[in-house]
Amino acid sequence: MWTSRPDGGPDRLLTLADGVFAIAITLLVLDLYVPRGLDADQYDQALRRLLPDLGAYVLSVTVLGSFWHDHRRIFRDVREVDGQVITLSIAGLGVAALVPFPTRLLAEYGDEPVSVAVYAAAVAAMGAGHLALAALLAKRPWLRHGTPSEAGTTLYLLDSATMVAVFAVTVPLALVIGSHAMWLWLVLVPVRFLLGRRLQKQT
């Protein structure tokens, strides 16, 4: 059975997280290029072929940026970490580092149901890791020196759970209706906005 033993401050863990998210976002850019030596018609065609790549890039930057912000918020009041916190964090960062791969699948084979399912599964896994981390820290006030945890509030956990649920549902849905399942992700825009507003008023 796991025992919570404080293992130092969160500074190095946060530095690692910053690095992983920065590298993951940087890797997304590497596939955005236009070949040299094209004539005018080829240049226009190359730009049009680049549109799916740009769309996948914007989507993944938004996702990774949101998770990076949430990760900082989760650790805002944390003064010490233990083995379970470190393990969950590393697992989540491992999924974040993997995001460029499903992003490439989505850009190159966005019409394939499996591409959408793989991308949705990656985001759902990353969200589940953040949700588990926030819930764990909410139950361990000694790691926060007794300070209340914003990330442990019902609204925050509901916000995180909503994202996990939407992307998790997309996995089987994509295999049934194909790439149209991605439209379900738009539900998160108003839901997260409203929950975010209520969370700000609460804090």
> Residues 11-49: pLDDT tens digits?
999 999 999 999 999 999 887 888 888 888 888 888 888
CA distance 126 to 119: 11
- Residue 187 is predicted with a pLDDT of 87
Cβ pair 7, 80 in contact under 8 A: yes
CA distance 13 to 50: 36
Rg, the chain, Cα only: 19
What confidence tier does 6 reach under pLDDT thresholds 50, 70, 90?
low
Write the CB contacts of 16 (distance below 8 Å, at least 6 apart in sequence): 93
- Residue 151 is predicted with a pLDDT of 65
Among 122, 119, 123, 110, CA closest to 180: 110
